[in-house]
Structure 1
Amino acid sequence: MELKRVVVTGLGALTPIGNTKDEFWEGLISGKSGAAPITYYDAEKFKTKFACELKNFNATDFFDRKEARKMDRFAQYAMVAADEAIEDAKLNLDEVDKLRVGVIWGGAGIGGLETFQNEVLNFAAGDGTPRFNPFFIPKMIADIAPGNISIKHGFMGPNYTTVSACASSANAMFDALNIIRLGHCDVVVTGGSEAAVTIAGMGGFNAMHALSTRNESPETASRPFDGTRDGFVLGEGAGALILEEYEHAKARGAKIYAEFVGGGLSSDAYHMTAPHPDGIGVVAVMKNCLQNAGLKPEDIDHINTHGTSTPLGDVAELKAISEIFGSHAKNININSTKSMTGHLLGAAGAIEAISVILAMENGVIPPTINHTTVDESIDPELNLTLNKAQKRDIKVGMSNTFGFGGHNACVVFKKLD
């Protein structure tokens, strides 16, 4: 059976450095930091008092108040990003066969955490009578985001959520790729969303010592590959991509951003939260991705790393890149856009794939910002695109995304021949 070709025809982004695809790109190439003191609640007693929140996002700009109250923030973000991607793709919803349009979404690393938190706190503050919001469960469940997207637009193809912690949206994208490759759909809306900047989210990550505590300088706290990095910065938002079968896209005259040529998955099988120190799972996932795409290591021009700014994870990933790519590794523009957006957990894979695609379209690699101190355990010959964007003709770009539980996902895009 000959596999169908899959292309990207629409993008949508809602991020801490820009609330549209174009604003996101401008934030990336200018090296903008999305980190700032938390505004959603009083964080004074928390170890970490900052995060990468969305700026100037008002749900009522997109939904009426009644509709907005029925959705957790992560589902609102998903709807907004998906709508932008659908509009960007110029899909004619009156003509497309909606039985062959699916929605496969990275179901957030955590889901409707704020909804769960608030309902439990309200119950605990009461007299013990179970007065719960009737929308508690449908607001909280991780699969509600693709459900809401399909209900709004009438998309009746495959509709589900993937959950693999921070690898969730990259997993969703790979599933969507294969659904189209196999001929089951003409179009799939895919991506991921997250809204974990909450009392429970920040408190939980602080308890496991995962977050940076650079409270005196939030904007410089996310510093992947830097010798003084001390943990990741939590972010929120959503990224959406319209994937389309190539002939279907060509027939309707769609703009094609890139061809989605392959993906890979693997497991560290090592530890609940820590990466394998030698990056063996990361080696496996990149190897699987290259094989799936029919590419050689020397074909890769750019890698947007998982690069969370944790002491262990950054080193393990770069070791794996050196092992897979050998002498070619020094020719690759490596970066981590988490230095600007923070870590969007379940939305990270989608947002970072969008960064790769836009870098390919514009011929510019966004920088890894906030680098001041060399880490002696990192190969100095690697080009980590430090502090300033670099021009580059990118023919093939890759994105890595890893999640707690040892979940690894890798996707790769190519300029259309």
Structure 2
Amino acid sequence: MNLKLEQSTINNQQSKIQISGSKSESNRILLLQAFYPKIEIENLSNSDDSQVMSEALTTSSHIIDVHHAGTAMRFLTAYFSIQNGREVVLTGSDRMKERPIKILVDALRTLGADIRYMESEGFPPLKINGKSLTQNKVTLKANVSSQYISALLLIAPKLENGLELTLEGKITSVPYIHMTLSLLKEVGIETSFIENIIKVSPKSSISNQKLIIESDWSSSSYFYSILALSEVGTKITLSSYKEHSLQGDSVLAKIYQQFGVTTTFFNNRIKIQKRANINQKTFIEIDLSNAPDIAQTIAVTCFALGLECYLKGLHTLKIKETNRLLALKIEIEKLGGEVSITEDSLSLKASKVIKSQVAIDTYNDHRMAMAFAPLALRTSLIINAAEVVSKSYPGFWTDLKNIGFQISE
């Protein structure tokens, strides 16, 4: 499904939006619920990824296909490795078979797991023979994807002797590690994170728990971008958010102050408002090593505002649904921008022109579709394979229409 977005303006009278629960929190809590059935979940994400995770944890099938869900692939690799006596084949889309998982598999093998590669060494699909793991010490490079680290931490309380995880070097994506540890603590599991050593104690069972999942901050990023491109005075209210969030992407509230957008917290909601226009000579430089998922949104915001920017800390973007750095470069340059990329950074030159009627390719990546959508406030464009947003935000296009975007097939 390709969607045409005409140049639009925001309707301030219809700008209240309910965003589904965080995909990151949902997938962690779903795995914990599989271990501890007394956990009750409220405001679960309605994303494809969380649906895939939920189905995989409840199926009795021998073959489990996670499609494009990278988080599910990492978490389920760890989960099935400790399901004693159960054998599964864990597979995914063609792109998933290109996404490395060797670091996690090696760590699990160190703990005693029985995992084999079925096609290419270091990549899915995997054949996993579940067993009880008694080893409890493992070391990882600290700059690896936080999902590898979280996968190990989530199964740790079900290991006979818990887990002692040592991280070597500078740690990246720290907020996601803290999110995992906070959720473990919330259900009564003892953890510690001192210097570069994380310890998780074993726990066989827990008492009844209700966990309320905060709405997804990554999904809110597109509305921050929309506000940045809107007239001064435009505002949108989003639910349900906490001022003291577990999600690393909550740094959006601070980052978008640079674009003249303020955030007010009230009654588990946020009101975001365009307060001022930004000076065209402003140079934006941001280290996103703790929040790489919002890089696409910020890059497109800067391009649309004609700002020069330098975004760094993006080394994990190459192994996402697509190589996001390369995809950003290709699509922004279609629109008339000038982008250069390295292994972990993106530089954008200030641009005075935005081409119209450009078709944006989305590369099976939900964030490509949603990050470029706010450009409809400046020009008309086409989003190819727009249905890809269902991976994290199925109602995205409906919500945009409700606030004034003119969208047609």
Fold conserved between structures, TM > 0.5: no
TM-score of the superposed pair, with normalisation by structure 1: 0.26
Return the structure number with greater relative CO, CA threshold 8 A, min gap 6: 1
Structure of higher CA gyration radius: 2
TM-score of the superposed pair, with normalisation by structure 2: 0.26
Q: Which has the higher strand share?
A: 2
